[in-house]
Chain A
């Protein structure tokens, strides 16, 4: 089984190759079959590896890519417990979303292209999580960025989609600069990019005083900056809501479950380095908290069903970064896992609702769908229950562990902030729920949508399976005070082989934990009730005060970027251009070219005449010059 592990990576690539090369020949059903199988088969292999191999670390060295005296870049992949968790999420949820896409794309002529991009995405995501060093990871990192660009702009003829795709791509490039600089620093200082080696070398170097803590902080903050790009955190989060222009399965797979979590994976992968820098941890914690709070606030005033979910994703990712900043790597990974389930579920339900309402995304035009879409309502309720952290939903377990970690590491104030965000997330999720399924009478809905589009079977079954998964996934991390059967916190036990876990809590603290848990639970229920009160009956009238304008305007971050970064920059370029730079940069190549044309012309006129005699003469003449050189050197050496 282990020997076949490389197939996990190669099969999605093969699926991509088949679909993209045969895009004109392969019929649609076959393209869909290939696309789905290219994820399902690796999933079964990964499942076999998961059950078949207990204590495992597969590290396979493929070849040395570049080698110099001072450093070595190798292409190798590693499969350990951490990658395994990511692998199962990517392939499991990815497989379900592929099947869902069969239904979603059934009327589209370019389904083959869609599935090929999706398979390529899976391939690069696997490269990202299975790479054994930062370089291979970076290849995957860039690759998923590319696929994200291709898929957001899948309907490239729509201008909004094209612009959103470009925005996502450019914003991610800004983060990638941080990644690249970090890679250069690491190569320059340590000569290796391998995770294993870096995780040993850097703590040792710091302990022995070879490097200062400042360098470590710099590396960590640069890597975190890259993560803010990919995982849509504070300075670089504006691309994610716009990315909702892409098809809904793409939003579910890339912009909720997998790609946006790669920043968290990056930090967990290099946790021993991040552990070293107090400063970097604080930066991560507070950036995460700020992003989570701001985006949760924005989410409460959005009217586009997918945008609410997008801001909710940013908020939940901010949560995970908070946990990372507090050293709760296991908690972050657990929340990543549950989030992948319930957020994918919410997106897919939203997609199902959108499809059935003839591609309507505006919440104000929905409402009263409770009886007309009972299955969607039920499944949305499961998702909403999970994300809000209400008892025994998946989010309840993971958020609880996360909050506890924050409390242990940072104390009351950070914990309170996190609880406030939890309140907001319960509020905006149930606002969404009530706006879609309640809020108006069924008759009203009947009038606006006399007929509903039938939901394809593939979408329906995927929703049911994923809902079941969402209900169950929380059981992976049962807290000890609820652990009646003494199975333990499965995901923490599993990850403990790779990542350090906080010391197990003594029984005396368990009362505090239950107290904190009850408080956060009460707050979440409060959010739920507030949303129910405001949105259950009808659309409330929004007051036009400053606060509301701030929220509706998304804190004007986009406008600030536009007005204070993009515009001044282009003005600067224009202004400088008029004064000096444009002249220089326009005329320097011109002069250079003219210079070369002059040389070329003079040679062309004298030498390149086309006459053979001239050529022979040139050869003879050159030879004479050669002799002259020799004779001069000869005579000068004689003179010495």
Chain B
């Protein structure tokens, strides 16, 4: 029935109307004075730093590798709870999963990603 959703429709219309009217009022009525200070990026009260300290690209690599293997562990937790129930079939399935991730490590190793200290 349409009536069930009529409330949602009203909600959507009202919220859209409110949001747009606020913006519109601000645009129409607000004073517009630009200054150098106002044009600066605002960063939670801290002074704006012209050049960010560059982070070594390895940082991202570590983060990505961590994510991948973290997910691996995340998959293993639920399996660990039900090891007996899933039996050999489950074991083979999880082994296949681990094998693929293991191949991932081999890939990283051969790509020399794990050699941290060299540039």
Within 8 A of A (CB), among B1-25: 2, 9
- Given the complex, which residues of A lie within 8 Å of B2, measured CB to CB? 634, 638
Closest to A634 in B: B2
Q: What CA separation (Å) do A631 and B5 show in the bound complex?
A: 12
Q: Chain A interface residue count: which class?
A: under 10
- Given the complex, which residues of B lie within 8 Å of A634, measured CB to CB? 2
- Given the complex, which residues of A lie within 8 Å of B9, measured CB to CB? 631
Residues of chain B touching chain A, judged by Cβ–Cβ distance below 8 Å, are 2, 9
Closest to A638 in B: B2
Query: What is the distance, in angstroms, from A409's C-beta to the closest C-beta of chain B?
Result: 85
Can you list 3 residue pairs at the A/B interface with Cβ under 8 Å? A631-B9, A634-B2, A638-B2
Closest to B2 in A: A638
Q: What CA separation (Å) do A638 and B1 show in the bound complex?
A: 9
Closest to B1 in A: A638
Query: What is the distance, in angstroms, from A343's C-beta to the closest C-beta of chain B?
Result: 78
Q: What CA separation (Å) do A136 and B2 show in the bound complex?
A: 62
Within 8 A of B (CB), among A608-640: 631, 634, 638
- Given the complex, which residues of B lie within 8 Å of A631, measured CB to CB? 9
Closest to B6 in A: A638
Q: What CA separation (Å) do A374 and B93 show in the bound complex?
A: 95
Query: What is the distance, in angstroms, from B32's C-beta to the closest C-beta of chain A?
Result: 23
Query: What is the distance, in angstroms, from A627's C-beta to the closest C-beta of chain B?
Result: 10
Query: What is the distance, in angstroms, from A625's C-beta to the closest C-beta of chain B?
Result: 15
Q: What CA separation (Å) do A634 and B1 show in the bound complex?
A: 11
Q: What CA separation (Å) do A638 and B9 show in the bound complex?
A: 13
When each residue 372-410 of chain A gets 1 if its CB lies under 8 Å from chain B and 0 otherwise, what string results? 000000000000000000000000000000000000000
Q: What CA separation (Å) do A70 and B2 show in the bound complex?
A: 48
Q: What CA separation (Å) do A551 and B9 show in the bound complex?
A: 94
When each residue 324-361 of chain A gets 1 if its CB lies under 8 Å from chain B and 0 otherwise, what string results? 00000000000000000000000000000000000000
Q: What CA separation (Å) do A365 and B61 show in the bound complex?
A: 95
Closest to A627 in B: B12
Q: What CA separation (Å) do A634 and B2 show in the bound complex?
A: 9
Q: Which 3 A-B pairs have the closest CB atoms?
A: A638-B2, A634-B2, A631-B9
- Given the complex, which residues of B lie within 8 Å of A638, measured CB to CB? 2
Closest to A639 in B: B2
Query: What is the distance, in angstroms, from A629's C-beta to the closest C-beta of chain B?
Result: 15
Q: What CA separation (Å) do A634 and B9 show in the bound complex?
A: 11
Query: What is the distance, in angstroms, from A225's C-beta to the closest C-beta of chain B?
Result: 68
Within 8 A of B (CB), among A46-78: none
Query: What is the distance, in angstroms, from B1's C-beta to the closest C-beta of chain A?
Result: 9
Closest to B9 in A: A631
Closest to A635 in B: B2
When each residue 512-525 of chain A gets 1 if its CB lies under 8 Å from chain B and 0 otherwise, what string results? 00000000000000
Q: What CA separation (Å) do A631 and B10 show in the bound complex?
A: 13
Query: What is the distance, in angstroms, from A226's C-beta to the closest C-beta of chain B?
Result: 67
Closest to A631 in B: B9
Q: What CA separation (Å) do A631 and B6 show in the bound complex?
A: 12
Query: What is the distance, in angstroms, from B14's C-beta to the closest C-beta of chain A?
Result: 15
Query: What is the distance, in angstroms, from B3's C-beta to the closest C-beta of chain A?
Result: 9
Query: What is the distance, in angstroms, from B8's C-beta to the closest C-beta of chain A?
Result: 11
Query: What is the distance, in angstroms, from B10's C-beta to the closest C-beta of chain A?
Result: 13
Query: What is the distance, in angstroms, from B101's C-beta to the closest C-beta of chain A?
Result: 35
Query: What is the distance, in angstroms, from B61's C-beta to the closest C-beta of chain A?
Result: 27
Query: What is the distance, in angstroms, from B22's C-beta to the closest C-beta of chain A?
Result: 20
Q: What CA separation (Å) do A538 and B17 show in the bound complex?
A: 112
Closest to A637 in B: B2
Q: What CA separation (Å) do A345 and B28 show in the bound complex?
A: 101
Q: What CA separation (Å) do A634 and B3 show in the bound complex?
A: 12
Q: What CA separation (Å) do A631 and B2 show in the bound complex?
A: 11
Query: What is the distance, in angstroms, from B45's C-beta to the closest C-beta of chain A?
Result: 29
Closest to B3 in A: A638
Query: What is the distance, in angstroms, from A563's C-beta to the closest C-beta of chain B?
Result: 79
Q: What CA separation (Å) do A631 and B16 show in the bound complex?
A: 15
Query: What is the distance, in angstroms, from A16's C-beta to the closest C-beta of chain B?
Result: 53
Q: What CA separation (Å) do A595 and B9 show in the bound complex?
A: 41
Query: What is the distance, in angstroms, from A1's C-beta to the closest C-beta of chain B?
Result: 59
Q: What CA separation (Å) do A536 and B22 show in the bound complex?
A: 117
Q: What CA separation (Å) do A631 and B12 show in the bound complex?
A: 12
